[in-house]
Structure 1
Amino acid sequence: MTAPYAAFATAGRTLAAGPGSRRLPAGRSGDAGWADAVLSTLARSPGVAYAIGALGFRPDAPATALLADPSRSTVEPCGPVRYAWSAPTEVPPRAGYADAVRTAVDRLATDPALSKVVLGRWLELTCAGDPEPAHLLAALAARHPSAYVFGVPLERGAGYLLGASPELLVGRRGRRVRSTPLAGSIPRAADPVEDRIRADLLRDSAKDRHEHALVVDAVAEALGPLCRRLDVPARPALVRTDTMWHLASPVAGELREVGPATSALRLAQLLHPTPAVCGTPRDAAYRLIEELEPADRGPLTGAVGWLDAAGDGDWAVTIRAGLLHGRELRLFAGAGIVPGSDPGAEVAETGAKLATMLAAVGAAAPRPAEAAVVA
């Protein structure tokens, strides 16, 4: 296996840090001092244009950043992925996940302090050979040219984080700042007519529009005090990926001041985690997630992106993602649970989201569950 490199690719641009790139001292994901240290290191590093990094789901999770090696600026193309993977192990099984959703819905009904929680489940796979991180990254870039495609080697022993996120947490260029929160989703259909019907159902769903509004309000509340102007759409738009329809609201504003406190990385720390991956209120959602999810998410549903010496950058939400440890691959997907959420629908939604990464790495999806399991 060759040494993995870091990359963050968007439509028309790829930023990469080669295997020999300098790794900055690890920090904590919610530590503003660490973010400022990354920025100041960039300012003192002639010839280094940017850093690529990743934040974990929780503020005390490890954060990593690498200074870019300008010798690599593309994700190398590759042929089709042909690795042999084991049948995925579901953690928890679909029935267990449906039970967790029911528990969350009950808690939402009895706890007036809790409005939404995002619950996830994992798939765990083993490869018969040695999967090359660069090969998997190239496969993701080829399949998802409009997504935020990323690969980041984490701290020693923590694995390789990779994925193709459809969601921009925050982007900054000078005073201009933007965020495109996604919340409210429905799996796509193979038949074009049925697919359009599903999109219309999502657009008109009071439950999904409520879920979406919680996220947009949180983004606007966080960015508003920092901006002299902030434009928030009155209605969400429909955005599609290969497996999902999402409600999306492009939020854009103009910062009052530009400096270390408003670098793209500091703004990512301010916004993360939004109710789209955690819930609201944040602390109550964290507690319920810890109670109901069987494992720590680590870097999954964190944030990943790049930062330059001026403080500009783009940070995406670490969704449609996986964590590779040697031959072991762990995939994660979550769904927003609000009053009225249906356990069977949330099982289907997370299954559709997991299909993005399964297809990219050339693995088969788990066999469909019996309807009675999640009813």
Structure 2
Amino acid sequence: MTTTTLEKNKSRQHLWKSAKQLALPTAMWRLPRQTEKHFLTSFSDIPEQTKIDFEELGAGFAFSPFVNSDGKDAFFLKADLHYIFTQSELNKNEDLQEIIVPSAINPQLIDLLSDLDSDKKQEIGIIDQKQYQKEDYINLVEKGIAQIEAGGMQKVVLSRTKKTTLSPDFEVVTIFDKLCKAYPTAFVSAVSLPHLGVIWMGASPETLVSQNAQGIFRTMALAGTQSAYDAEGNLITPSEAMWRQKEIEEQSFVTRYIINCLKKIRVREFEEEGPKTVIAGNLMHLRTDIIIDTVEINFPQLATVMLDLLHPTSAVCGMPKVAATQFILENEGYDREFYSGFFGPINMQSNGNGRESHIFVNLRTMKIQNNTATLYAGCGITADSNPEKEWYETEMKTQTLERVLNL
């Protein structure tokens, strides 16, 4: 394990460009409320698709699509290289810490790290925006409400896309750093899958499952959305937030879903915190945290078991799960791909706390492909939903990334 000090961003620019040129699967992330930035590269051209089992897999990064019915379609990027970057207090440069030293280093990667020139200033910009048809989404929401009123579902999460054409000098590491600065409480990530020709980036507010080195398991019920700003543009404090019955009911669906999953595996010793109002960027949500000491209940496999049970949660799918999923697949009109799937580091060292696993729901995300960014946003639809307001909510959610692209 070695540590060196480098000019801010320079080493990560080199690493990302080198991995991209060699078409190596790569992930870069920063955990919520932390400052460390992680870089991981796998030397396999195509990452393994497998069931995510925290006890069986080594160190790496999981990346699962929304549709993963048997649990075996998640990609696992093995940590052949893992670097941690921390901010130096004195000179504002970055310290690089090498955590994993592979037994056989990729010589092409080393050559590129030596040769690439990353001093050229990179700028990003938006050339053009293509708007999704508002009427189409409102019609979709109305159809969902009708199905709920007919008794087919209690809740369904319906989403849409919005496309933005990026300038040719769009640069991933620059946007990643801007997201880190703008959203300190989110899980910020960039994942490159060269065999699919895509990069996924975003700032997710929602933990699906996590388990630290001490065996403390966490998950959360995050639902209900409103603007974090009033009509005059002033930030609303969480204590001042007013919630409608629709949002309260929507969030309670998710909480009950998690507790029912725990009941299925006969886990009754858990701590429940909330619901409470939390701010995520320009939005407010209702959140309930579920915390379990797996050592105390002698259940070290809890994270693996709960991942299988929870995905997809009612926060991204609906209730009942099967009926809501079927409605989404038949009516949304597009493939969600990795949007509302799950992703995150597994068995990785973080913040000096030993090996930890942190899996998040892939929200507030965009897909970069062929110089186009596709942004994703969805809303929980209940019998009390107002289609016009749901459209506005998706607009607020896409602004999470649009604001950074426009900086």
Which residue of the other structure, out of 52, 60, 70, is the alignment partner of 1:51? 60
Question: If each structure's helix is expressed as a fraction of its own residues, which one has the higher value?
Answer: 1
Q: 1:175 to 1:325 in 2, by over 3 A?
A: same
Determine which of 129, 150, 156 is the counterpart of 1:117. 156
Measured at CA, do residues 169 and 80 of structure 1 come closer, stay the same or move farther in structure 2, by a change above 3 Å? farther
Kindly provide the amino acid, as one letter, of the partner of residue 119 in structure 1.
L
Instruction: Please list the CA deviations of residues 132-157 of structure 1 after superposition, one character each: whole Å capped at 9, or x if unmatched.
Output: 22222222112112211111123612
Change beyond 3 A, Cα 1:164–1:94 = same
Partner of 1:35: 52
- 1:301 match: secondary structure: coil
- Tell me the alpha carbon deviations over residues 259-291 of structure 1, each in whole angstroms, 9 at most, x when there is no partner: 4x43x4553332111111110111111111122
Residue 144, structure 1, aligned to residue 144, structure 2: no
Q: Work out which of the residue numbers 47, 55, 68 in structure 1 matches 2:79.
A: 68
Change (3 A) 1:170 1:24: farther
Find the counterpart in structure 2 of residue 285 from structure 1. 324
- Give the percent of matched residue pairs that are identical in Structure 1 and Structure 2: 23
Shift in Å, 1:23: 6.7
State the one-letter code of the partner of 2:139: D
Q: CA deviation at 1:113?
A: 3.8
Q: Counterpart of 1:9? A: 30
Q: How many residues align?
A: 343
Deviates more, 1:188-197 or 1:6-15: 188-197
Counterpart residue number, 1:230: 270
TM-score (norm 2): 0.76
8 Å contact kept, 1:7–1:75: no
Query: CA separation of 1:69/1:226 partners in 2, compared to 1, >3 Å: closer, same or farther?
Result: farther
Question: How big is the shift at 1:64?
Answer: 1.5
1:215 aligns with 2:236: no
1:245 aligns with 2:284: yes
2:42 touches 2:78 (CA, 8 Å); kept in 1? no
How far the C-alpha of 1:187 sits from its partner, in A, is: 1.9
Q: Is the 8 A contact 2:42 2:77 kept in 1?
A: no
Q: Counterparts in 2 of 1:184-199, with a 5 A limit?
A: 184-189=224-229, 191=232, 195=236
User: Hey, what does 2:130 align to over in structure 1?
Assistant: 89
- Structure 2 residues without counterparts, runs of 5 or longer: 1-15, 21-25, 88-93, 95-118, 349-353
Change (3 A) 1:96 1:117: same
2:138 paired residue number:
98
Post-superposition CA distance 1:35-58 (Å, at most 9, x none): 23x75341xxxxxxx211211111
Are positions 1:349 and 2:393 aligned together? yes
Aligned mates of 1:116, 1:319 — CA distance in 2: 18
Contact 1:227 1:254 in 2 (8 A): no
Three-state SS of the structure 1 residue aligned to 2:85 is: coil
- Which residue pairs with 1:172 in the alignment? 211
Distance 1:158 1:75, change over 3 A: farther
Displacement of 1:87: 3.0
Alignment of 1:319-334 (within 5 A): 319-334=363-378
The reply to whether residue 131 of structure 1 matches residue 170 of structure 2 is: yes
Q: Report the equivalent of 2:199.
A: 160
**Cα distance between partner residues in 1 of 2:378 and 2:27:** 25
- Segments of 5+ residues of structure 1 without an aligned counterpart are 29-33, 43-49, 364-375
- Higher Cα radius of gyration: 2
Is 2:223 the counterpart of 1:201?
Answer: no
In 2, Cα distance between the equivalents of 1:16 and 1:308?
13
Letter in 2 for 1:329: A
- The one-letter amino acid of 1:210's match is E
Question: Matched residues in 2 for 1:72 and 1:197: separation?
Answer: 36
* 3-state SS of 1:350 partner: helix
User: What secondary structure sits across from 2:393 in the alignment?
Assistant: helix
Give 1:188 shift: 2.7
Matched-pair contact (CA < 8 Å) for 1:187–1:348: no
When residues 39 and 197 of structure 1 are mapped into structure 2, their CA distance, relative to the original with a 3 A threshold, is: closer
Summarize deviations over 1:85-107 as a string: whole Å, max 9, x none.
Answer: 2332234x111101111111111
Please report how far the alpha carbon of residue 21 of structure 1 lies from its aligned counterpart in structure 2 after TM superposition. 4.7
AA aligned to 2:225 is S
**What residue is the counterpart of 1:45 in the other structure?**
none
Once the two structures are TM-superposed, the CA of residue 75 in structure 1 deviates from its matched residue by 8.1
**1:170: how far off?**
1.3
Letter of the structure 1 residue corresponding to residue 372 of structure 2: E
Larger displacement relative to structure 2 (173-182 or 314-323): 173-182
The structure with the greater share of residues assigned to strand is: 2
Q: Secondary structure at the match of 1:297?
A: coil
- Give the Cα–Cα distance (whole angstroms) in 1 for the partners of residues 406 and 235 of structure 2: 26
Q: TM (normalized to structure 1)? A: 0.82
Structure 1: distance between partners of 2:344 and 2:267: 22
Residue of structure 2 in register with 1:31 after alignment: none
